[in-house]
Amino acid sequence: MYYDLLGRIKNAAQARKETVHAPFSKFDFAVAKFLETNGYVGTVEKRTVGKKTMLDITMKYAGTKPAFIDIRLVSKPGRKIYVGYRDMTSVRQGHGYAAVSTPEGIMTNREARKKKLGGEYLFQIW
């Protein structure tokens, strides 16, 4: 699930790794593409090794610091959090993003508010 992928990315950023390898799933790929689109990681690639399909994520750094400060999970396996578009607030006074899984795919809280879509509130990143 995506929480394992986010943990791998967060740990790799703290350890100053160049790449992260994770098992492939469509949802994890969508989360990784979300992070790539918003500039928190470098490139995201899908590759097949034998019978296994893997995600290869290149980390992005500003000098020696990672492109993001922290990732905080909101919706967890034991407690899913759903939010309507009217209830979405800014993350860190507008300096971060929230990932929301909507019927039109994973998007930021700002995009979801503009399109008037609610969904599962996955995580915050700043």
Domains of the chain: 2-66 (3.30.1370.30), 71-125 (3.30.1490.10)
Q: Count the alpha carbons within 13 Å of 72 in the hemisphere toward its beta carbon.
A: 9
What's the pLDDT tens digit per position in 82-101? 999 999 999 999 899 999 99
Q: Count the alpha carbons within 13 Å of 95 in the hemisphere toward its beta carbon.
A: 8
Could you tell me the pTM of the whole model? Answer: 0.91
What's the pLDDT tens digit per position in 44-53? 999 998 999 9
